[in-house]
Amino acid sequence: MYRLRNWLISDNGVSEEDMLQNGNRLMTGNGYLGYRGTVSEAEPSWMPAVIVSGLYDRQGDLWREPVNAPDCLYAKLFVRDEPLMASGENVLSHEQTLDFRYGIYSRETSWTVDGVSVTLHAERITDICNVHRLCMKYAISADAPVTITLKQGINCAVHDLNGPHLGNFRLDKDEKNGLLVLDADTLEKAVPLSVACTVDVAGDVVCGTEVSGEGAFHVYTIKADKDKRFDFFVYGAVYSGADTAEDCGVKARETALSSLAEGWESILSGHRKKWDEIWLKGDVIIEGDDYAQHALRYSLYHLHSIAPRHAKSLSVPARGLSGQTYKGAVFWDTEMFISPYFLCTEPDLVARFIRYRIHTLPGAKRKASEYGYRGAFYAWESQESGDDACSLFNVTDVFTGRPVRTYFRDKQIHISADIVHAIRTYINVTGDTEILKEGAMEVILECARFFLSYLYYSPEHDRYELLDVTGPDEYHERVNNNAFTNRIVFSVFETVQTCVDLLKKQDGGFIEKLFAELSFDTDMAFMHEVMKKFYLPQPDSGNVIEQFDHYFKLEDCSLDTVKSRLCDPREYWGGANGVAGNTQIIKQADVVLMLVLFGNEYSDEIKRANLAYYEPRTEHGSSLSNCMYAQLSCASGNSEWAYPFFIKTAEIDITGTSKQFAGGIYIGGTHPAANGGAWMTAVQGFCGFSMNDGKISCKPRLPEKWKRVVFSVVYNGEHIEVTVTKDGYSLCMK
């Protein structure tokens, strides 16, 4: 059972399900490597993983996914050739803990063997200072004489959802320095990957070496006894050709050996200092509500542990670095749910997200062309090239085992508009227009061009419409005039005009040259005509905005009614045959999301009416949903109603109760979008914080038990501390 206290989360479960959940719950990361929170001797079924950001591979016709690197911190204990496992019958006690202030994983396990108690205490970090480095302290003791064997080294027997992904293994060892090295290549593109580890041993042990198809290992024989402790300090390194042009094997060797020379205490001290710097800018203090405080900080920890500070242009996958779920792909989550936090605390990270979209623009143009359109149609599931990793059959029918045709890839066109929205928000907050010249302006124009080629003119209504789309809801596919999609696409056209006007004042030659290179003058003229007749769904007489054409004509039944129609709890609810497809039950915030993003355009009466209508009809089957209902509730004056939605968002990776399967497909992992949504709700929702028109403002609407909220923002290059109470707010330069 997990426990949350202060900056610590612990769990003492030993079942396979516990191990699987704790892989997510207790994971560590540094933006380059994600190390799942599994024990060092984890079985493949527990899904241990060392995920390398930005490195992907495809095995045959299976889904492309991130590469799970060989584990250089692998360690397993044996007594008389019998392994000591966290799930073994001879376990006396077991607890795993994550210190999420500093990203330190620890575990303590005791076993009884023929009346002798053997205890293991281990700590490990995914170093935040040197992102290629993994370090572990592994301490063994016993209360009576016993001979223990420790097998530690580089484990190649990794778990893959759709693997294997590595081949051409080359194992090397340096006996003098106790160094083990594994060089390999990905199977699809032969990208090199190197893993190295070395060990410093405090205690009198006998060491040998074992090399097999499972990897390369040191094998230590330990003569344990009462009052004797054996400390092993393991220093590992991981490099891939996806992030360095240098020889990966040489770099891995150098990093492992330099880490050995530096030592555990020094590395840990630097790691802690860096985390202190991160929290100085990124913490949020909530007074009066301990659980909300712990849950929010835990959410922010997960965001920081996957932030790609090491790269100039890289984004954040939808499941972070917690595994291979969702193909390790980048979704709209980054722009809409993760960027807002970093825009306020580390805006340079948002610039990196934008550069990733600039870098992957060729892939977006290829996708648009594939479907017969012009411009840039960004991937629903984007990997390193920007080509769409999303398949046409994204879920499996749980009854027949057959793949089900879905339309995430083809019809969720709002992805291109979401990216433009994020670019515009970044410029509005930071004033950084140079990124437009780096390629962001071209992204904006090509996205606008895509929508101009996609829209449909209705002679009957004398208006331009967006037909055959799938909105954020996803349970209702191929609908016409989804309100959210129409509004955010219209904002693309608005952004084009705003940015063109801005650049004409700052550098008219640049925009003139870009228009000529892209032959955009004709598109610009057409865009102006479209904007005059573009259809934006409006509230009805009851102030409710219809989610899409004829949505109100669908069966209006309760959520419980739809749930009662399930024959299998793993059924996919959406699509033509899903239990929700022909009803008004929706997966997640859709119209509500639109009202949050464009809240200044709608009255409180409209917001309240749509909350009242859509919330009972929403399954909240996505981690993206609750935070939007919470924010709109705050904006319309009901913070107490918003509070449970905030808690559900903030604790999603704590409780482990989120949806694990969609139509038979495993979708477990951490939830960075919800982590960002927790901050958005606390700061933008409850504190009413905004940065607009060159100034910071707050409209406090704190929950009843919240006494005070303190957070920091970076604005115009200045570090500002914001303090919010029920009565007002204050700003202080730091």
Taking only the tens place, the pLDDT of each residue in 198-229 is 999 988 888 888 888 889 999 999 999 998 99
Among 23, 18, 19, residue whose Cα is nearest residue 35: 23
pLDDT at 20: 86
pLDDT classification of 596: cutoffs 50, 70, 90: very high
Rounded to the nearest 10 degrees, the angle between the axes of helix 264-282 and helix 248-262 is: 100
- Report the pLDDT averaged over residues 450-462: 98
pLDDT at 175: 79
Q: Which CATH number characterizes residue 68's domain?
A: 2.70.98.40
Examine the residue annotation and report whether 474 is marked as an active-site residue of this protein: yes
Rounded to the nearest 10 degrees, the angle between the axes of helix 521-532 and helix 441-454 is: 60
Q: How many domains does the chain have?
A: 2
Given a cut of 80, is residue 666 above it in pLDDT?
Answer: no
Spell out the residues 6+ positions from residue 600 whose beta carbon is closer than 8 angstroms to its own.
Answer: none
Between the alpha carbon of residue 571 and those of residues 190, 366, 404, 657, 659, the distances in Å are 38, 33, 11, 17, 12
pLDDT digits (tens, 9 = 90+) for 600-609: 999 999 999 9
In a domain, 20, yes or no: no
CB 396 within 8 A of CB 664: yes
DSSP string computed for 334-392: IIIIIHHHHHHH-HHHHHHHHHHHHHTHHHHHHHHHHTT--S----SSB-SSS-B---S
One domain for residues 470 and 545: yes
CB 46 within 8 A of CB 143: no
Q: What does the angle CA 719 – CA 34 – CA 25 come to, to the nearest 5 degrees?
A: 90
Among 387, 379, 320, 328, residue whose Cα is nearest residue 56: 328
Residue type, 13: G
Percent of the chain whose pLDDT exceeds 90: 88
pLDDT at 88: 85
One domain for residues 503 and 424: yes
Among 387, 534, 361, 525, residue whose Cα is nearest residue 444: 361
Rounded to the nearest 10 degrees, the angle between the axes of helix 441-454 and helix 483-518 is: 120
pLDDT at 205: 87
pLDDT at 664: 59
- Report the pLDDT averaged over residues 504-529: 97
- Report the pLDDT averaged over residues 389-416: 93
pLDDT digits (tens, 9 = 90+) for 79-106: 988 999 999 889 999 999 999 999 999 9
Question: Is the sign of the CA dihedral 71, 72, 73, 79 positive or negative?
Answer: positive
Given a cut of 70, is residue 621 above it in pLDDT?
Answer: yes
Q: Which two tokens stand for residue 222?
A: 């330990």
First to last CA, the chain: 40
In a domain, 17, yes or no: no
Between the alpha carbon of residue 158 and those of residues 24, 72, 175, 327, 512, the distances in Å are 17, 11, 25, 16, 53
- Domain extent, residue 530, equals 283-733
One domain for residues 568 and 668: yes
One domain for residues 247 and 306: no
Give the span between the Cα atoms of 648 and 131, in whole angstroms: 31
Given a cut of 90, is residue 159 above it in pLDDT?
Answer: no
Grouping H, G, I as helix, E, B as strand and the rest as coil, residue 228 is coil
- Report the pLDDT averaged over residues 420-438: 96
Given a cut of 60, is residue 614 above it in pLDDT?
Answer: yes
pLDDT at 210: 87
One domain for residues 421 and 328: yes
In a domain, 84, yes or no: yes
Grouping H, G, I as helix, E, B as strand and the rest as coil, residue 597 is helix
Give the span between the Cα atoms of 533 and 531, in whole angstroms: 5
**Helix%, strand%, coil% for the chain, nearest 5:** 35, 30, 35
Domain boundary among 254, 278, 302: 278
Grouping H, G, I as helix, E, B as strand and the rest as coil, residue 95 is strand
Given a cut of 70, is residue 342 above it in pLDDT?
Answer: yes
Domain boundary among 256, 278, 300: 278
pTM of the model: 0.96
Rounded to the nearest 10 degrees, the angle between the axes of helix 414-430 and helix 441-454 is: 150
One domain for residues 171 and 295: no
One domain for residues 255 and 331: no
- Report the pLDDT averaged over residues 340-347: 97
One domain for residues 287 and 250: no
In a domain, 131, yes or no: yes
Among 163, 157, 156, 161, residue whose Cα is nearest residue 57: 163
pLDDT at 387: 97
pLDDT classification of 662: cutoffs 50, 70, 90: low
One domain for residues 142 and 113: yes
Given a cut of 90, is residue 174 above it in pLDDT?
Answer: no
Given a cut of 60, is residue 335 above it in pLDDT?
Answer: yes
CB 684 within 8 A of CB 690: yes
Please give the backbone phi and psi of residue 167, each rounded to the nearest 5 degrees, phi first. Answer: -155, -175
Give the span between the Cα atoms of 594 and 322, in whole angstroms: 29
Give the span between the Cα atoms of 283 and 175, in whole angstroms: 45
In which order are the strands placed within the sheet that holds 215-224?
82-84, 71-79, 146-155, 215-224, 205-212
pLDDT at 178: 87
pLDDT at 717: 84
In a domain, 33, yes or no: no
pLDDT digits (tens, 9 = 90+) for 272-294: 999 999 999 999 999 999 999 99
In a domain, 688, yes or no: yes
In a domain, 562, yes or no: yes
One domain for residues 583 and 439: yes
Domain boundary among 228, 261, 278: 278
pLDDT at 520: 98
pLDDT digits (tens, 9 = 90+) for 367-384: 999 999 999 999 999 999
Spell out the residues 6+ positions from residue 659 whose beta carbon is closer than 8 angstroms to its own.
Answer: 621, 667
Spell out the residues 6+ positions from residue 32 whose beta carbon is closer than 8 angstroms to its own.
Answer: 52, 53, 131, 132, 243, 308, 310, 311
pLDDT digits (tens, 9 = 90+) for 121-142: 999 999 999 999 999 999 999 9
Q: Are strands 192-202 and 50-57 parallel, antiparallel or unpaired?
A: unpaired
Most confident among 1-5, 26-30, 210-214, 692-696 (mean pLDDT):
26-30
Q: What does the angle CA 140 – CA 145 – CA 148 come to, to the nearest 5 degrees?
A: 45
pLDDT at 659: 64
Between the alpha carbon of residue 42 and those of residues 59, 194, 718, the distances in Å are 24, 21, 46
Spell out the residues 6+ positions from residue 203 whose beta carbon is closer than 8 angstroms to its own.
Answer: 222, 228, 229, 230, 231
Residue type, 299: S
Give me the long-range contacts of 87-90 (CB less than 8 A, separation at least 24).
Answer: 87/14, 87/15, 87/16, 87/19
Given a cut of 80, is residue 665 above it in pLDDT?
Answer: no
Catalytic residue (one of 41, 335, 442, 474): 474
Residue owning tokens 């496992």: 85
pLDDT classification of 661: cutoffs 50, 70, 90: low
Q: Which CATH number characterizes residue 705's domain?
A: 1.50.10.10
Give the span between the Cα atoms of 302 and 638, in whole angstroms: 28
Give the span between the Cα atoms of 76 and 264, in whole angstroms: 21
One domain for residues 271 and 291: no
One domain for residues 90 and 46: yes
Percent of the chain whose pLDDT exceeds 70: 99
In a domain, 298, yes or no: yes
pLDDT classification of 734: cutoffs 50, 70, 90: confident
pLDDT at 213: 83
Task: Compute the mean pLDDT over every residue in the chain, rounded to the nearest whole number.
Answer: 95
Bridge-partner residues for 34, per DSSP?
29, 51
